[in-house]
Amino acid sequence: MTYFVPTAVEDVAPAEVAEVDLYHPKSFVTKYIFSQDAKVIAIQYSFTAIAIGLVALVLSWLMRLQLGFPDSFDFISAEAYYQFITMHGMIMVIYLLTALFLGGFGNYLIPLMVGARDMVFPYVNMLSYWIYLLAVLVLVSSLFVPGGPTGAGWTLYPPQSILSGTPGSEGGIILMLVSLALFIVGFTMGGLNYVVTVLQARTRGMSLMRMPLTVWGIFVATILALLAFPALFVGAVMMMLDKLLGTSFFMPAIVEFGELRDYDGGSPLLFQHLFWFFGHPEVYIVALPGFGIVSDLLATHARRNIFGYRMMVWAIVIIGGLSFVVWAHHMYVSGMNPYFGFFFATTTLIIAVPTALKVYNWILTLWRGNIHLTIPMLFAIAFIVTFVNGGITGLFLGNAVVDIPLSDTMFVVAHFHMVMGVAPILVIFGAIYHWFPKITGRMFNQTLGQIHFWITFLGAYSIFLPLHYLGFLGVPRRYYEMGDTLFIPDSAQTLNAFVSVVALTVGVAQVIFLFNMIWSAYKGKKADSNPWRATTLEWQTPETPPGHGNWGPELPVVYRWAYDYSVPGAKEDFIPQNVPQEEVPNAEGGVGLAVPAAHPAE
């Protein structure tokens, strides 16, 4: 089979879509506040997500103080504890991880990596951020209403979520549901932008099979979100109608404090299905961008082309598709028919196959690579280890027979946090350390970065590995305090106290990262335009940080895939995507390679 490799600009097919007309800001307000530049919007998304994420971090400290040292803090009541759980979970999953991966990295990286000047719909992109900010403010406002935020648990299961015995069952739950609806509206605006930009705004020569895996991960995750979020939106609206108008979508006939309520005929299980039809794709809405980012970090810092690129792309697509047929493995204890349990256990095991293929390909990418243990690389390797650990415990919980006795224990908390807490945040840190030089033009302080990595990585394992053991002991989750429980040994409380101390330590250690980021942005060592010697387009911009419109007068032209590292015969160990074959410096001191640097993926 012969693979055609364009060697000059005239060999590359013309662009299918005309360039986007840029909006040129005329004041500070339109440049930095109501900005239509995707890079500024990305930074706005990121700072907002990190700010609300720090609120969730503080809430987790309060929860751990209660679990580790019960009866020691009068201000942590049972009601407050459940409110902390609810707000912490919802903020981390929706308002931090989803917003940061798609709104932050998606906005910054998609136009740069596909060679576009900006998103296709810049004004709609601006609106998406401000609606997201409004959703965050509505959520935070629930902390200050009478009764406080909802304490229904982050899954918001009815009927308890809207009955008066639950903390925050008046203003708190309403504000939570309004906030979620606003978030989904804002995300839909941004998500349509990401998809259309990838499909329509790629530069000349940037075929789909030449896109970096980061773009593939964000692209497929966005499609998942556009299909899954409507289920949560509908559930939020229906629950709001149950609460405010007395409808009975989710509320059965029920007696509350001895009084028969007016509800009749609703199904609490219907909400569970709607929530988890969104909820399990949400795992991959967060994971798939992480998969793509890790792939790019490994290839760049190991100086190796990604192993099995086409397989990696199809694995991302297949994982996305299968994520819609596994949702009910979260509902084994809801009384489902055993045959349904068998079906969802089977699909859960099947989805592990493409995920395992990605892990194998990452390991084979590292095999015989020139591995540079930079800070981004450390976080990428830590992600692989953590995701494998979380995936193995997921195989336990994907099996109905094992899940039922473990379902209400700390084992689930440990598994969920390894997969949806620690692993994605390790990717986020790695990505920030990796692209920080492009965003600011300066490098992080490496010593502080190393300290931050080791405290975070070892600390996270010191927190969540013991929780697996506590789950096997039968320590229940969602409990405000254990009390005198005969089957739980006293050592479990000692271990809980240890976990709480480590959690506080790791949380405080994030100050090192925040200080390093702020200090380095102004005082850090100035970075070259391509400090990691990477091949992808974002590192080839004429300015660092990239200017308005990203590319100057002419858009780049792409001649190769995104992973030409350590090509035989080339002078350098990387060939950027926008360098024609005839201009590649060779090892003999001339230009041009005798053997085309093509890959079968093309």
pLDDT digits (tens, 9 = 90+) for 387-405: 999 999 998 999 889 999 9
Averaged pLDDT for residues 493-520: 95
- Confirm if 142 and 150 have CB atoms less than 8 A apart: yes
List of residues 6+ apart from 456 with CB closer than 8 A: 426, 429, 506, 509, 510, 513
- Confirm if 292 and 313 have CB atoms less than 8 A apart: no
DSSP letter assigned to residue 323: G
pLDDT score of 3: 47
Rounded-to-integer distance, Cα 387 and Cα 415, Å = 10
Averaged pLDDT for residues 430-454: 96
DSSP codes joined into one string, 30-57: IIIIS---HHHHHHHHHHHHHHHHHHHH
Bigger pLDDT: 144 or 483? Answer: 144
Rounded-to-integer distance, Cα 35 and Cα 44, Å = 9
pLDDT score of 1: 39
Averaged pLDDT for residues 62-81: 93
Rounded-to-integer distance, Cα 62 and Cα 83, Å = 11
pLDDT score of 16: 61
Share of the chain above pLDDT 70, in %: 95
List, in sequence order, the alpha helices (H) in 323-445: 338-366, 375-398, 400-406, 410-417, 423-440
Quick: pLDDT tens for 248-265.
999 999 998 888 888 898
Rounded-to-integer distance, Cα 45 and Cα 189, Å = 14
pLDDT score of 13: 66
- Confirm if 111 and 42 have CB atoms less than 8 A apart: no
List of residues 6+ apart from 544 with CB closer than 8 A: 437, 438, 441, 527, 528, 529
How big is the chain, counted in residues? 602
Lowest average pLDDT, out of 44-58, 287-301, 327-341, goes to 327-341
pTM: 0.94
Rounded-to-integer distance, Cα 479 and Cα 481, Å = 5
Structure tokens of 405? 């006795």
- Confirm if 110 and 116 have CB atoms less than 8 A apart: yes
Averaged pLDDT for residues 511-520: 96
DSSP codes joined into one string, 434-463: HHHHHHHSBPPPHHHHHHHHHHHHHHHHHH
The pair phi, psi for residue 197, each rounded to 5°, is: -65, -45
Bigger pLDDT: 587 or 473? Answer: 473
Rounded-to-integer distance, Cα 466 and Cα 307, Å = 35
Share of the chain above pLDDT 90, in %: 80
Lowest average pLDDT, out of 61-65, 505-509, 541-545, 592-596, goes to 592-596
Averaged pLDDT for residues 28-47: 92
* 3-state SS, residue 313: helix
H/E segment holding residue 134: helix 122-141
pLDDT confidence tier of residue 2, bands split at 50, 70 and 90: very low
pLDDT score of 431: 97
Q: In whole angstroms, how far apart are CA 247 and each of 19, 126, 151, 230, 253? A: 50, 36, 22, 20, 11
Half-sphere exposure of 433 (CA within 13 A, CB side): 27
Quick: pLDDT tens for 177-190.
999 999 999 999 99
Q: Per DSSP, what are the bridge partners of residue 585?
A: 591
Domain locations in the chain as residue ranges? 9-250+269-583
- Provide the terminal-to-terminal Cα distance of the chain, rounded to the nearest Å: 12
61: pLDDT strictly greater than 70 = yes
436: pLDDT strictly greater than 70 = yes
Averaged pLDDT for residues 240-253: 94
pLDDT score of 490: 86
Rounded-to-integer distance, Cα 182 and Cα 136, Å = 9
pLDDT confidence tier of residue 24, bands split at 50, 70 and 90: confident
Bigger pLDDT: 36 or 8? Answer: 36
CATH superfamily of 9-250+269-583: Cytochrome c oxidase-like, subunit I domain (1.20.210.10)
Bigger pLDDT: 599 or 480? Answer: 480
pLDDT score of 32: 86
20: pLDDT strictly greater than 80 = no
